[in-house]
Amino acid sequence: MKPIITASEYVSESAGPRPPVLLDIRWQLGGPHGRPDYEAGHIPGAVFVDLEAELSGPAGSGGRHPLPRPETFGAAMRRAGVSHGTPVVVYDGGLGWAAARAWWLLRWAGHPDVRVLDGGLAAWTGELSTKVPTPDEGDFRPEPGALPLLDADAAAALARSGLLLDARAAERYRGDVEPIDRVGGHIPGAVSAPTVQNVAEDGRFLPAGSLASRFAALGADGDTEVGVYCGSGVSGAHEVLALEIAGHRAALYAGSWSEWSSDESRPVATGPNPS
């Protein structure tokens, strides 16, 4: 099953015998809370999910957006009406990063049928609603481990033995600037692969063949183990999704640079080259 869905496909499925649960994951790094925008207008039937409170644990030694406790995440998904046997579609209002975080968490936690609305809210041409739905309680119970996950040590090892992609902007990878974390640069051996290059100008993902060519040029040859990190495990999930479209199952280092750079004992590389 494709991990993305078009707006027209969603409309068709929502009128069918197994309509998907629709989740609105509007969020901006350092921006205002997404709930007011959701209440001002959302795709009809969508339930708002809070990335900071429900798709992340408290910031700390595990990074800015560590994984939430499974029980917290499960309760949020059940509140939103998610059941194990019901399809789920997620969207956000921006770059697709927040929606991809929800997609990755649900898939990692064992949900078999989750897709991201390609292009997000901007791809929706229908009317918007201000009605806040109250769905029936779902039955989803997380069973973590369905997608591969890296910790800091595993990410460091993969940068040596396989392919570790850095999904942040190239200037942060090089260490030219670092607006958020303690120090700029990248994990030694990691390859720069900015997430923004996975999508077209309209925010939709590039075709699978184009993404496959992009990742092949970066070293994903089909046999090499691939991992991804970013600043705090949000945009990295978007790159994992792009890799999935291209035919690669990649691991996510959820703590990412925010965790790595907070530990002064971890080495830091700078400049345009991996090492």
Q: Amino acid identity, residue 122?
A: A
Please state the rounded mean pLDDT for residues 66-82. Answer: 97
**Phi, psi at residue 100, to the nearest 5°?**
-65, -35
Instruction: Report the mean per-residue pLDDT for the chain.
Output: 96
Fold of the domain spanning 4-123: Oxidized Rhodanese; domain 1 (3.40.250)
Q: What is the DSSP string of 109-139?
A: TT-S-EEEETTGGGG--S--B-----PPP--
The pLDDT of 124-153, averaged and rounded, is 97
| 138 labelled catalytic | no
pTM: 0.96
CB under 8 A, 24+ apart: contacts of 31-39: 34/92, 34/93, 34/98, 37/93, 39/130, 39/132
98-121 residue pLDDT tens: 999 999 999 999 999 999 999 999
Q: Which one from 55, 149, 230, 246 is the annotated catalytic residue?
A: 230
What pLDDT band is residue 33 in, cutting at 50, 70 and 90?
Answer: confident
Average pLDDT over residues 223-235: 96
Q: What is the DSSP letter of 250?
A: -
Q: How far is CA 262 from the centre of its chain?
A: 22
- Superfamily of chain region 149-260: Rhodanese-like domain (3.40.250.10)
| pLDDT at residue 1 is higher than 90 | no
pLDDT at 34: 84
What's the mean pLDDT in 247-271? 97
Q: Where in the chain is the domain with CATH 3.40.250.10?
A: 4-123, 149-260
Residue 70 predicted with pLDDT over 90: yes
* Helical residues (DSSP H) of the chain, grouped into ranges: 7-14, 35-40, 51-54, 70-79, 97-108, 152-161, 170-174, 208-218, 235-245, 256-260
**Cα(90)–Cα(97) distance, integer angstroms:** 11
Q: With 80 as the cut, is the pLDDT of residue 262 above it? A: yes
Confidence label for 60 from pLDDT (cuts 50, 70 and 90): confident
CA distance 158 to 180: 25
How far apart CA 47 and CA 27 sit, in angstroms, is 14
Closest to 143 in 3D by CA, of 58, 73, 85: 73
Would you place residue 94 in the very low, low, confident or very high pLDDT band (cuts 50, 70, 90)?
confident
pLDDT of 147 above 90: yes
Residue 140 has pLDDT above 90, yes or no: yes
**pLDDT over 80 at 31, yes or no:** no
Give the span between the Cα atoms of 41 and 51, in whole angstroms: 18
